[in-house]
Structure 1
Amino acid sequence: MEGELIRKIISSKSKTFLAFCFSFLFGVASLSFVNQKFFETQIFIIFLVCLFALGFFWKKQAAQFFILAAIFFLFGMMRINFAIPEHDVNSLSFYNDKKQSITGFIAGEPDIRQDAVHYIVEAKNIRVQNAWQPVTGKVAVKMPLYPRYSYGQNITLDCKLKTATPIEDFHYEKYLATQRVWSVCEAAHIQVEPGMSSNPLLRVLFSFKAKCAENISRLWHEPYASFVAGVLYGYRGGLGTLSNDFNRTGVTHIVAVSGFNITIIASVFSATLLYLLVPRKKAFWIVSFAILLFVLFTGASGSAVRAAIMALLVLISRQLGRTSRMDNVLLLTVALMSFSNPFTLMWDVGFQLSFLSTCGLVYLTPHLQKYFSRVPTFLNLQESLTATLAAMIFTLPLILFQFGRFSVVAIFVNILVVPAVSFIMAFGFATLLSSFLYWPLAKVFAFFTYLILEYVVSIVRFFSNLSWAAVSIPLPLWGMILLYILLIYLIIKRSERDKFFSLSPSERR
């Protein structure tokens, strides 16, 4: 049985490719829990040379397959090993647990929250024994809301460097590792220095975004202004108690830059264009261009790019009309993303939700559509319902494992809310665009957007106020794995059954 399975994999280029991608990902995952270099690079190189030699001299096809799989596994281990910084005097993390003076610049868009602003600072030099010496690395800094600092500003930072540690069940140090940050700053003092050290294009984008935020705050009051900003570019500050309402009703994704949000919105937008008799090919390019604009508008952050790629994969699968072609593309995309940033595979929840929601939309939606064939297509209700359910089912085990909260009303609220979000996006974008062209027209668009916002907020608050809206259901790792194995098994069995019944009577025999 096992030998037959191996032969099937070896005889299929597609299955062999999948096996090697899985091997690489397992290699990355195997060292994702390590905080320091596990092996010296030389050992990896020697091991790889031995494996290549073994594969060259051992002519049995099955043996070569396992050797190549082992090589890809080692490549995965090497990639994450390289991503962990060297612990020497040239690395900023070497000086953790000491009070330091650092020169550098603000390396990303400030993350503005309700009570503070989080900055990522790229270090250039550090003062050691009253002398400045070059250093590489990033540090996370939490500062008060004011004074505000902007992307690219050169600064001198005085603080105590520390190594990040877990916060209760949250692996904060791993979250920072996904941003290639290995130090945090306590009791920080920032002094702005002359000049800028930034990407000119990003500086223009962030400046434009700041102007957009200013216009949004003039057109709507809170929490509606933050709601629109969240839908348009993932802003999370200013929602106040509405943020908890979103959590309890399972619709946090609508104000987050994630594949869960973008894939659903893209699917609904695409289906709406088809409903309006826009040709499928034109609809595909229109939605793809809209996703590209969204990525640029958010500043092309890593999370936005990953989410956009996942959304585009869903559109491509529907354009091709065959989900079977998506297996290699989807897994290759995950492997390439993990190669680019190996810490995202195990520690970036946003990346995991993006991948799983994409899987749900690609593999589960076709099966769900058969059960909702009687749902009216008016206002694209059928597509919205199936897409939302598919994404929710595929992400539920991960959500229970990561957050331990199950929203009893999530399905109902998402069905009522998600179709409206695409209209908030469309009207919000029209409002923002017209605010730069003709302010009175922007106020007209803002009024219609407000009506949709009020509808969504009313639905969310009504269901959130129910005492049983959300319940605590912690799910252990083994439970999550079992649920996904069961889900994959059911989809495979259903696909095989559908394939069988699609054959003619003579072919079934």
Structure 2
Amino acid sequence: MLRGFVSADPSFRDRYTQLEISALEIEHGDEWLPVRGKLVLKVPHYPEFEYGDSLLVTGLLETPPVLDDFSYKEYLASRGVHSLMRRAQVTALGERRGSGLIRWMYGQKKVLRGVIESILPNPDAGLLSGILLGLGHTLPDYLAEAFRNAGLTHIIVISGFNISLVSQAAMLVARRSLHRWLALGVSLCAIALYAFFVGLSAPVLRAALMGCLFILGLLAGRRSHPLTSLAAASLVMTAWNPLTVWSVSFQLSFASTLALILIEPALARRAYAWMTGAGGTGWASSWIRGVRDVFLATLAAQMATLPIIWYHFSQVSVVSLLANALVLPAQPPIMILGGIAAALGRVWLPAGRLAGWLVWPLLRYTIVIVQGLGELPLASLRVPSIGAGVVWAFYGLLCVVFLPGRRGKLGSGGRSLKAQPPLIKFGIPALGLVALLTWVAVLSLPDGKLHVYFLDIGQGDAILMRTPDGHTILVDGGPDPLLLTSRLGQVLPFWQRRIDLVVATHADQDHLAGLIPVIERYDVTHVIESPFMGEGALSNHWHQVLASTGTNLILCHRGMQVTLGEDLTLHLLHPSANAVHIAETDDNRNSIVLMAVAGRCRVLLTADIDALAEQELLYLGQPLSATLLKVAHHGSRSSTSTAFLDVVNPQLAVISVGEDNSFGHPDKGVLDRLEAVECQVFRTDLHGTVEFITDGQTCWVKSARTWR
């Protein structure tokens, strides 16, 4: 048992939150002894903790492991953390410690992230938060994995471009009213403040130090020398914390920057020489200027970072060069337009949302490219491990190939590109963007059909309905708040911030946890919940959020009907409001059961009810016949009995289940029973998000693989 405080911004993951704790005292017998050091541990998402919260912690202290392909021990050591705690139990002590300035900084980052999530849907908001604020774990796991496979994780971390943009913006504003030297001082302060604000990770600190050295050189009347600046920045970082040299992020940042200084110019000279040897010089100079920043810079950085990635992760991206060439040109306007949208949204949210329309197509383009390439079967390959000797040999070869020779300019005789009129340079892209947004808006309008999306959110339930006239209903939210909001952002129109009805069937984490940020970020009109939600930490936090947002809460009861427009009616079949004979601790059995009726098509949503609840529905003679059945409890053996299926007689069934889950869902017996009634089964672990569409007469099912 020990006492300490949260010493870093909590890291919100898919099913847990990781806390970094600075220990102050540890229990030894009957006394408390002072200690120093940091540890990391996992806690549930709720209740939430913040930087500076004092905690009483119990659990098993361990040394971080060294895995086969990654040293978690060295990674944590570079952050000053040397222990981790398993099976942690945490109690808040109600005190605040740490730096007030750091607490304010984390608070402002949280506010800005909230602004970004208010003006943009996820996962676009998560991507912009990573690019602008340097926040980690803002993307759902499947998308973060696609970024890794595509070799594009570097665009969601703060880089030299961010620092350069901040410096230039500060300089532009300051020069209007200050002397040049004072303006340079303002720019220097802006770099330091931005680096401190986003967090002094290795790439940020390296870029900030190089930026500061550049400005100090201008103040001293000296020209900047990039190679010297990189060496000086690295010297300062490793002198302050020698363990920085073992940080993978530092190694990658150093190698890529060194490649841009040394290898990229050499590649450009060789490309120019090859082209001029093949004929003319003018077109060669123009071509080199056009592709240098994208293709050649990417190639140089890939060559320099390949040995590090191979050494640490035994994994190589095959599509990295293509992915970078397609995505990198969109990143500067994303930073500029995204920064403007966030700033406007901080002042006046409607203005931020309007500006967000301009950056959203670029963010969604980036995500589409990353998913398309990163999810290819051979996008990333596992390769045999290599030793440090091979890494150094590779860098020696790079030195031999690229460092000899003198630097020279690219053909000065080449014709220059003629400056384009502003109408051509900015007007045509602006018109194209307006046309794109118009078509996206038109295609997102209601089409007169009911759409029911069984969202792929892992081991849990989340069902979104869009009625023929545009109303939205969300039933449950799955276990991962970030993943749910990302799925919603991919299905709903990008401007939509309203959900008419949310239904919380019961208080299990795999149904309720994802709904909490929906209440916080969307304008939710009504919430229906089971009368048996319990008193746990998750349920209590849920009700606190409902109370703080003023959302209208309705307790369900058997026989309740909800009509949305003229085309959809929801019938609540279970539980009864006075079902005292059912143990309140069994929240699965008390789950809400819904029948959605649209014309001749009926969709039965059974949440996590078991065979006893099914028997009660049969005994009461509830109208259970349905076109589509959402199989109860992810296909658990305790549900979906033969008698229940005989009455429901579904043509289609959807099982919402996580891939390779530890529960063995869905049960083979359930699948056999569904096959016996000739029901076609879709599974989110195999088909991804499953979309059921009906006009009230005919039904279609759309999944990642099939139209039926």
* TM-score normalised over the length of structure 2: 0.50
Contact 2:129–2:138 (Cα < 8 Å) also in 1: no
Q: Could you say which residue in structure 2 is the equivalent of 1:76?
A: none
Q: Could you say which residue in structure 2 is the equivalent of 1:188?
A: 88
Contact 1:431–1:443 (Cα < 8 Å) also in 2: yes
What secondary structure, in the 3-state scheme, does the structure 2 residue paired with 1:141 have? strand
Contact 1:161–1:186 (Cα < 8 Å) also in 2: yes
What secondary structure, in the 3-state scheme, does the structure 2 residue paired with 1:221 have? coil
User: Aligned in 2, Cα 1:158/1:449: closer, same or farther, shift over 3 Å?
Assistant: same
Q: Structure 1: which amino acid aligns with 2:258?
A: C
Counterpart CA distance in 2 for 1:114 and 1:183 is: 22
Residue 143 of structure 2 corresponds to residue 253 of structure 1: no
Contact 1:384–1:418 (Cα < 8 Å) also in 2: yes
Alignment of 1:14-53 (within 5 A): none
Alignment of 1:467-478 (within 5 A): 467-474=377-384, 475-478=386-389
After the TM superposition, which of the residue ranges 332-341 and 479-488 deviates more from structure 2? 332-341
User: Aligned in 2, Cα 1:135/1:321: closer, same or farther, shift over 3 Å?
Assistant: closer
**Higher-helix-fraction structure:** 1
Contact 2:150–2:380 (Cα < 8 Å) also in 1: yes
1:325-357 Cα shifts (integer Å, max 9, x gaps): 555543343232112111111x20001111111
Q: Could you say which residue in structure 2 is the equivalent of 1:263?
A: 160
Q: How far off is 1:462 after superposition?
A: 2.3
Contact 1:401–1:477 (Cα < 8 Å) also in 2: yes
Q: Structure 1: which amino acid aligns with 2:256?
A: S
Q: Could you say which residue in structure 2 is the equivalent of 1:96?
A: none
User: Aligned in 2, Cα 1:328/1:449: closer, same or farther, shift over 3 Å?
Assistant: closer
Counterpart CA distance in 1 for 2:139 and 2:291 is: 31
Q: Structure 1: which amino acid aligns with 2:160?
A: T
1:47-69 Cα shifts (integer Å, max 9, x gaps): xxxxxxxxxxxxxxxxxxxxxxx
User: Aligned in 2, Cα 1:247/1:302: closer, same or farther, shift over 3 Å?
Assistant: closer
Q: How far off is 1:372 after superposition?
A: 5.3
User: Aligned in 2, Cα 1:247/1:350: closer, same or farther, shift over 3 Å?
Assistant: same
Q: Structure 1: which amino acid aligns with 2:237?
A: M
Contact 1:223–1:240 (Cα < 8 Å) also in 2: no
Q: Could you say which residue in structure 2 is the equivalent of 1:370?
A: 269
Contact 1:233–1:294 (Cα < 8 Å) also in 2: no
Contact 2:166–2:190 (Cα < 8 Å) also in 1: no
Q: How far off is 1:385 after superposition?
A: 3.4
Alignment of 1:105-116 (within 5 A): 105-116=5-16
Residue 405 of structure 2 corresponds to residue 494 of structure 1: yes
Q: Structure 1: which amino acid aligns with 2:390?
A: G
1:163-182 Cα shifts (integer Å, max 9, x gaps): 22213321111111112222
Q: Could you say which residue in structure 1 is the equivalent of 2:144?
A: 243
Q: How far off is 1:311 after superposition?
A: 6.0
Q: How far off is 1:237 after superposition?
A: 3.2
The structure 2 residue matched to 1:386, chosen from 278, 281, 296, is 296
Q: Could you say which residue in structure 1 is the equivalent of 2:278?
A: none
Counterpart CA distance in 2 for 1:455 and 1:369 is: 28
After the TM superposition, which of the residue ranges 185-194 and 461-470 deviates more from structure 2? 461-470
User: Aligned in 2, Cα 1:222/1:472: closer, same or farther, shift over 3 Å?
Assistant: same
Alignment of 1:291-440 (within 5 A): 291-301=191-201, 304-310=204-210, 325-345=225-245, 347-371=246-270, 374=284, 376=286, 382-440=292-350
Counterpart CA distance in 1 for 2:222 and 2:267 is: 16
What secondary structure, in the 3-state scheme, does the structure 2 residue paired with 1:493 have? coil
The structure 2 residue matched to 1:206, chosen from 97, 103, 106, is 106
After the TM superposition, which of the residue ranges 373-382 and 445-454 deviates more from structure 2? 373-382
What secondary structure, in the 3-state scheme, does the structure 2 residue paired with 1:419 have? helix
Q: How far off is 1:420 after superposition?
A: 0.9
Counterpart CA distance in 1 for 2:301 and 2:79 is: 26
Counterpart CA distance in 2 for 1:219 and 1:372 is: 43
Counterpart CA distance in 2 for 1:379 and 1:187 is: 56
Counterpart CA distance in 1 for 2:253 and 2:330 is: 21
The structure 2 residue matched to 1:135, chosen from 12, 19, 35, is 35
Contact 2:269–2:408 (Cα < 8 Å) also in 1: no
User: Aligned in 2, Cα 1:397/1:312: closer, same or farther, shift over 3 Å?
Assistant: farther
The structure 1 residue matched to 2:394, chosen from 483, 486, 494, is 483
The structure 1 residue matched to 2:355, chosen from 419, 431, 445, is 445
User: Aligned in 2, Cα 1:296/1:353: closer, same or farther, shift over 3 Å?
Assistant: same
Counterpart CA distance in 2 for 1:412 and 1:315 is: 35
Q: How far off is 1:233 after superposition?
A: 2.1
Q: Could you say which residue in structure 2 is the equivalent of 1:507?
A: none
Q: Could you say which residue in structure 1 is the equivalent of 2:57?
A: 157
Q: How far off is 1:227 after superposition?
A: 0.8
Q: How far off is 1:366 after superposition?
A: 2.2
Q: Structure 2: which amino acid aligns with 1:252?
A: T
Residue 368 of structure 2 corresponds to residue 458 of structure 1: yes
Contact 2:168–2:187 (Cα < 8 Å) also in 1: no
Q: Structure 1: which amino acid aligns with 2:363?
A: L
Percent sequence identity over aligned pairs: 28
Higher relative contact order (CA 8 A, sep 6+): 1
Counterpart CA distance in 1 for 2:144 and 2:217 is: 33
* TM-score normalised over the length of structure 1: 0.68
Q: Structure 2: which amino acid aligns with 1:486?
A: L
1:207-242 Cα shifts (integer Å, max 9, x gaps): 011111212222222211211111112332333321
After the TM superposition, which of the residue ranges 402-411 and 459-468 deviates more from structure 2? 459-468
What secondary structure, in the 3-state scheme, does the structure 1 residue paired with 2:51 have? coil
Contact 2:40–2:84 (Cα < 8 Å) also in 1: yes
Q: Structure 2: which amino acid aligns with 1:418?
A: L
User: Aligned in 2, Cα 1:468/1:124: closer, same or farther, shift over 3 Å?
Assistant: closer
User: Aligned in 2, Cα 1:371/1:438: closer, same or farther, shift over 3 Å?
Assistant: farther
Q: How far off is 1:267 after superposition?
A: 7.1
Counterpart CA distance in 2 for 1:306 and 1:326 is: 12
After the TM superposition, which of the residue ranges 379-388 and 403-412 deviates more from structure 2? 379-388
What secondary structure, in the 3-state scheme, does the structure 2 residue paired with 1:243 have? helix
Q: How far off is 1:127 after superposition?
A: 1.3
Counterpart CA distance in 1 for 2:367 and 2:218 is: 32
User: Aligned in 2, Cα 1:498/1:439: closer, same or farther, shift over 3 Å?
Assistant: closer
1:446-471 Cα shifts (integer Å, max 9, x gaps): 11111111111122222234333332
Q: How far off is 1:433 after superposition?
A: 0.7
User: Aligned in 2, Cα 1:313/1:391: closer, same or farther, shift over 3 Å?
Assistant: farther
What secondary structure, in the 3-state scheme, does the structure 2 residue paired with 1:343 have? helix
Q: How far off is 1:481 after superposition?
A: 1.1
What secondary structure, in the 3-state scheme, does the structure 1 residue paired with 2:269 have? helix
What secondary structure, in the 3-state scheme, does the structure 2 residue paired with 1:468 have? coil
What secondary structure, in the 3-state scheme, does the structure 1 residue paired with 2:334 have? helix
Kindly tell me the number of residue pairs found equivalent between the two proteins. 388
User: Aligned in 2, Cα 1:488/1:365: closer, same or farther, shift over 3 Å?
Assistant: same
Contact 1:202–1:299 (Cα < 8 Å) also in 2: no
Counterpart CA distance in 2 for 1:331 and 1:110 is: 33
